[in-house]
Chain A
Amino acid sequence: MKALYFAWVRERIGANEEELAPPAEVATVGDLVAWLATRGENYAHAFEKPQVIRAALDRVHVGREAKIAGAREIALFPPMTGG
Chain B
Amino acid sequence: MGAARVQREDFDAAAEGRALTKGRYDIGALASFIGLCRDEGGRLAALEIEHYPGMAEAEIARVIAAAETRWPLLGVTVIHRHGAIKPGEQIVYVGVAAAHRGEAFAAAEMLIDYLKTGAPFWKRARGRDGTVGDWVEAQASDTAQAARWTKP
Contact = CB atoms under 8 A, between A and B. Distances in A.
Interface of A: 4, 6-8, 56, 59-61, 75, 77-83
Please name the 3 residue pairs, one residue from A and one from B, whose CB atoms are nearest each other, closest first.
A82-B121, A79-B138, A83-B116
Interface of B: 35, 49-52, 54-55, 58-59, 80, 91-92, 112, 115-124, 135-138, 142
Interface of B, secondary structure class, is mixed
Nearest to B137: A81
Contacts, number: 71
Contacts of B54: 59
A7 B124 contact: yes
A75 B52 contact: yes
A6 B122 contact: yes
Nearest to A83: B116
Given A6-B52, A7-B124, A82 B115 contact: yes
B55 A83 contact: no
A6 B138 contact: no
A17 to B, nearest CB: 11
Contacts of B121: 80-83
Contacts of A83: 35, 80, 91-92, 112, 115-116, 119, 121, 142
A6 B117 contact: no
Contacts of A75: 52, 55, 120
Given A79-B138, A81-B136, A83-B112, A7 B118 contact: no
Nearest to A75: B52
A76 to B, nearest CB: 11
Contact of A80 (B35, B58, B119): B119
Contact of B50 (A7, A56, A61): A7
B144 to A, nearest CB: 13
Contacts of A7: 50, 122, 124, 135
Nearest to B138: A79
Contacts of A79: 117, 137-138
